[in-house]
Amino acid sequence: MVSGGGHRAVARCEALGRAPYSDMDGGLYRGWLSPAHRASVAQVAAWMADAGMATRIDGAGNLIGRYEGTGDGPPLLIASHIDSVRDGGFYDGPLGVMLGVECVAALHEAGRRMPFPIEVIAFGDEEGSRFPAAMLTSKALAGVLDQVPEMADASGVSLRAAMAEWSLAPEGLLAARHPGALAYLEAHIEQGPVLEAEGLALGVVTGIAAQLRYEVVVQGLAGHAGTCAMPLRRDALAGTAEMILAIERIAGADASDLVATVGRIEALPGAANVIPGEVRFTIDVRAGEAARRDRAAKAILAEIAAIAARRGLVLNHRLIHDLPPSPCDPALMDLLEAALVATGHPPRRLVSGAGHDAMIMAALCPTAMLFIRCRDGVSHNPAEHVEPADAQAALAVMLGFIENLGASCA
């Protein structure tokens, strides 16, 4: 029943990586409500229809395909996103959508209906790569938005104008709340190296890591690079370099799933012959448990403050992002793991360090996630790669999960 479906899912992701499904020459970029997004929605809707689903677009621009069940209770949602980062990979997001389509196609081909409806959802905005807000469309569907954000993209196009081009009213974001779901399943590439390092194709996600993000400003004293003696310098960049090494050391010493990253840095005034007088950078701290994350963040902030004081620098930091951990549902994890083992895979559970729509959808219903191995753990990069055989294995596990969920509802 599953022959070839995983391979077709991979091929479809690759097809969506090119024009007209990308707004970037020579690479993939698909922002929410863009022409590439519109073309992708039309194509994925056609694939959903071929698989036996009725399709619609909700008030947030999400594409929803519905396959009726024998009962009229709340549906199982199988979803991921179809937007991408700029110059991204083909599989981050779309593979989960394509595998959802293949699950329904397999059931439809066999003439089977589950006790519950199945809805496959292609979220329009998980990455936040066009507008400065991530996961906006899953937030709309989960009903956790309390107002329409006023914002514009890098070209100055407002959210309201972009929605109007799709004949969508901004208030549709608030009206897109789903009436309720039985469960939520998301298949996604791991975006990390753990499964590949262990020789495993698939793993069950236990939850999505808690995350803190800070903006940090270090102020020293700008001066002439040729005339200011080394002992007299208050070099903001040199101090920041010591801080970055301290952040790396503290995170590494935890010897756990804790990670800390300085992902953006800017030195001012940015001239080759001027000692940097100000540096701005970000700190991203994540761990499976909020308490461990918070302990590490406290240690990091204390250490960089001590470095600043010793070097005669002024340090200011601001918390800009605080996401709690989002554990997956234990009962759904068990059903997914049972399907994993039944299809010949060893059980493996792991935490997701990356954020996913599943963490938002947990406000609506119980959630489960299946991770799929990706080559070298590379993601958000054109080198992103998934073996078709691994996608085929994921499809078999997802179908097993659907069967297990059906049996649990009997």
Predicted confidence at residue 2, as pLDDT, reads 44
Tokens of 181: 């779901």
pLDDT band at 1 (very low <50, low <70, confident <90, very high): very low
- Cα gap 145→151, rounded to integer Å: 15
The predicted-structure confidence for 160-214, as pLDDT tens digits, reads as follows: 999 999 999 999 999 999 999 999 999 999 999 999 999 999 999 999 999 999 9
Q: Computed over its alpha carbons, how large is the radius of gyration of the chain?
A: 23
Q: What percent of the chain has pLDDT over 90?
A: 93
Residue 401: the pLDDT is 98
pLDDT tops 50 at residue 18: yes
Q: Provide the mean pLDDT of the chain.
A: 96
pLDDT band at 3 (very low <50, low <70, confident <90, very high): low
**Separation CA 345–CA 282 (nearest Å):** 39
Q: What is the mean pLDDT of residues 384-408?
A: 97
Give the residue-averaged pLDDT of 323-327: 90
- 154: buried, middle or exposed (CB in 10 Å: 19+, 13-18, 0-12)? exposed
Higher pLDDT residue, 80 or 255? 80
Q: Please check the confidence at residue 297 and state whether its pLDDT lies above 50.
A: yes
Lowest mean pLDDT among 88-92, 105-109, 129-133, 246-250: 129-133
Q: pTM value? A: 0.86
pLDDT tens, 20-45? 999 999 999 999 999 999 999 999 99
Q: What pLDDT shows up at residue 134?
A: 85
Domains, the chain, ordered by start: 5-208+325-409 (3.40.630.10), 210-323 (3.30.70.360)
Distances (CA, A) of 191 to 65, 368, 383, 407: 26, 17, 12, 32
Identify which of 146, 136, 41 has the alpha carbon closest to the alpha carbon of residue 94.
41
* 114-146 pLDDT, tens digit each: 999 999 999 999 999 999 888 999 999 999 998
What pLDDT, on the 0 to 100 scale, is given for residue 260?
97
